[in-house]
Amino acid sequence: MATGSTKRRVRAPNQKARTAARAAARYDLDNLERHEIVALVSLTRRAYRVPARPGTLVTRVIEDERSVQSDLAQGVTIMVARTHGSRPRLLGAVRLVEDRGALFFSRLAVVPSARGRGLGAALVGAAESSARAWGLDEVRCDVALGKDLIGFYERLGYEVEHEYLGPGGLAKAQLVKRL
Ligand SMILES: CC(C)(COP(=O)(O)OP(=O)(O)OC[C@H]1O[C@@H](n2cnc3c(N)ncnc32)[C@H](O)[C@@H]1OP(=O)(O)O)[C@@H](O)C(=O)NCCC(=O)NCCS
């Protein structure tokens, strides 16, 4: 008996870069403004929610207005992707910090309704542009193993540098890209 198979379209890296460039042009990628903090908290919750278990977040993403304000006060840069127009909506975000001579990005998030159109890749590209602007030639991020997400980053030029056990024994990898 034939079994159903899921075919996934695999895009070539240069096509992926073009898709990301189109996404970058379609949205406004810029630093978070203070009045957008509530929208950011909502975006993160929607992005990290487990679809089958609406009350559960994918990883231990504990975020509220106070924690975002605290991150900003500690020098974390939060970049967001907004729609253009008179009433912009937040569709994606990523956090950037400088760590030991490299730019480290985390909490990459795109709302479910805007996925698969290059916005995630565009936000990673914006993180890399920030690294260059900050005079850094290395970009790093952590990813949980076993979620296939490593393929997403590898197509953007990232390599696994090392694997480790994170909080709660979660298997993770640190990825790096030299610019
Ligand atoms: C990961 C994420 C930011 C990607 O955003 P996006 O706008 O859909 O990304 P793009 O459109 O640029 O790229 C989509 C590609 O990533 C792949 N991808 C996205 N999420 C994936 C996942 N969880 N597992 C495997 N592949 C994934 C898609 O299959 C697609 O591949 P393709 O280009 O070969 O078709 C988004 O899915 C998200 O917010 N996920 C929840 C939060 C999260 O896990 N963040 C990353 C923490 S390290």
Query: What pLDDT, on a 0 to 100 scale, did the predictor assign at position 7?
Result: 46
Which pTM does this prediction carry? 0.87
Domains observed in the chain = 13-178 (3.40.630.30)
Interval between CA 119 and ligand 1 midpoint (Å)? 9
Question: Which numbered atom of ligand 1 lies nearest the CA of 107?
Answer: 47
Q: For residue range 128-172, what is the model confidence (pLDDT) as tens digits?
A: 999 999 999 999 999 988 767 899 999 999 999 999 998 878 889
With a cut of 50, say whether residue 6 has pLDDT above it: no
- With a 6 A CB cut-off, is 100 part of the ligand 1 pocket? no
What single-letter amino acid sits at 126? A
Interval between CA 93 and ligand 1 midpoint (Å)? 13
Instruction: State the residue for tokens 């993180």.
Output: 127
Q: For residue range 52-98, what is the model confidence (pLDDT) as tens digits?
A: 555 555 555 678 999 999 999 999 999 999 999 889 999 999 999 99
For residue 81, give every residue at least 6 positions away whose Cβ sits within 8 Å of its Cβ, in sequence order, or none: 27, 28, 29, 90, 91, 92, 93, 110, 119, 122, 123
Residue 144 neighbours by CB distance under 10 Å: 14
- With a 6 A CB cut-off, is 120 part of the ligand 1 pocket? yes
Interval between CA 136 and ligand 1 midpoint (Å)? 25
